[in-house]
Structures are given as structure tokens and as C-alpha cells.
Amino acid sequence: MQAQWTCIVLAGQRPGPDMLAQHFALERKALVPLRGEPMICHVVRTLHLSPHIGKVVILSQDIEHLRPAVDAAGGAILVESQNSISRSIKAQAESLGFSAPLLVTTADHPLLTVEMIDEFVRHADGDVAVAMVERQNMLQQFPDAQRTWLRFSDGAWSGANLFALMTQKSSFALDLWADAEQDRKKAWRLFLHFGLRLATRALTRTIGLHQAMERAGKRLGLDAKLVPLSDPVAAIDVDKLSDHRLAEKILAEREAQSRETNVA
């Protein structure tokens, strides 16, 4: 398989102190330790292991503080980000000229696996694709999971911090993202940017998320797809201390399983 995707890793911070970083007496969330190394190391190493990924770009406001950790995980191109997530991504995408499809993920996604990436990129098509996990899938494995759920007629969904930007048209989605970043976790407010009717249907749960994304994409003149992921761990990012404890547990279990496999 020839690697063709470029991955952009968002490793900046929103304004104000980050509570998780402060707990570990750090200023940068991406450097919070997990199983003895910064979270961003886990992400970068996984990306290098994926046969789909040809180039890794890190976006952050403070790239020099991240460089040692990134280099330890195999290295990446570090680029100073702007004051907007979407505008930073768009600037990087335009500089690359969409010469390859772009995968976007985050530095607080240390449970990311090669298998998750493979499932996502195999099913992503159109202009823009977004990975999500459905609530019932999550609760089967993690019955006490507390995530932000977007509720639609086809289920309740939580983001998996994986986005695909595959054509020049995806710039339209990034422009909308710039206007709607503050509404990213409230479905009805998010869909207000696509018109009152779609927002009303989202609020009353009379439309599924698959269909809502397709209709929202059409309003922008692009093909937008939802990609449900089979592994519920894909929806676990590390934002708070309880997430950190869970991530430690999951990684420890993976390490134990790997040792058993190697012995066998």
C-alpha cells in the first residue's frame, strides 16, 4: 500500500488554563504524561505506523516546546498555528495545495490505533468525512462512559477526533467551522448555520445524523459523509482526569495483551 494521506495533528490549546495540564504542573496539554511519555508521542508514533500516512504535520502555538516529544516519537513537521483551529487547518491545506487527502486528528487522542485509521480512511469518501461513535456501541464496552452526545433519530453520537478533507471543496467546510467553532458540541446551534429547518429537525430528532450531514454538505456545495467507527475507544480523548485514568487502564491492557501475544 502506498501512503497517500497527510495527517494534521492539532496540538494547540484554547484560551485560558487547561485543567488537566495544570493537574500535572504543565502548561501544555499535549505534554501530559501517559504511560510514562507525553500524550502527543502516542499519537505521532501511531501515525507513523499507519501505512496510509505519508506525512505528519503538527499545528501548535508553541512548537519548540513540543519538538523534543515529537522527535522522540519519530518526528514530524511542526508549524505554528493561528488563533483559530479551522483557519490554521485551512492555511496548511492551502499550502499543501490538496496534493494529498488530509486526515485531521488531535494530540489528546492517545488511544488512536492503526486499525481506527484504516477503518476511517477506507470508508471516507466525498469531499469531507467525519468519524463518530454511536452511544450504544460505546455503552456495550464502557457502560459508565460520559461523553458529549449529539442525539439524532439514528442514535446518539460522539466525535472520534478524526476528520478527512479530500478535495478543494472542503475549504467551504473549514470556512463554516471558523464561524461555528463555539457551537461544535450543541447540534441544534451547529445546524442553525445550515438553516432553521435543518436545525429544527436536529433539535426534534426527526432526522438522522447521516442524513443531516449530507444535507448540510449540500448547502455548502460539497459531499459530506459520516463514518461510524466500530471501536468505541475511538471516541475517548483525554480532556479531564477521569479520561486520563481510563486511558492509562486501556493502554496498560493493550501492553499486557501485546506481551502475551509475543510470548505465544
What are the DSSP E strand ranges found in the chain?
5-10, 33-34, 37-38, 53-60, 77-80, 102-106, 128-134, 150-152, 155-165, 224-228
Q: Which residues of the chain register pLDDT less than 70?
A: 1-3, 176-195, 264
Residue 148's pLDDT is: 84
Within a domain: residue 254? no
Residue 25's pLDDT is: 94
pLDDT digits (tens, 9 = 90+) for 105-124: 999 999 999 999 999 999 99
Closest to 133 measured CA to CA, from 102, 104, 112:
112
Question: What is the number of other CB atoms lying within 10 angstroms of the CB of residue 189?
Answer: 15
Within a domain: residue 50? yes
Within a domain: residue 21? yes
Residue 88's pLDDT is: 86
Q: How far apart are CA 149 and CA 166, in angstroms?
A: 26
Question: What is the number of other CB atoms lying within 10 angstroms of the CB of residue 120?
Answer: 23
Residue 264's pLDDT is: 62
Residue 161's pLDDT is: 94
Residue 96's pLDDT is: 81
Residue 217's pLDDT is: 87
Within a domain: residue 263? no
pLDDT digits (tens, 9 = 90+) for 43-80: 999 999 999 999 999 999 889 999 999 999 999 999 99
Q: Are 32 and 244 in contact (CB under 8 A)?
A: yes
Q: Which domain holds residue 102?
A: 5-246
Within a domain: residue 261? no
CATH of the domain at 32: 3.90.550.10
Helix axes 196-203, 209-220, angle to 10 degrees: 170
pTM for this entry: 0.91
Number of folded domains that form the chain = 1
Within a domain: residue 255? no
Within a domain: residue 197? yes
Within a domain: residue 260? no
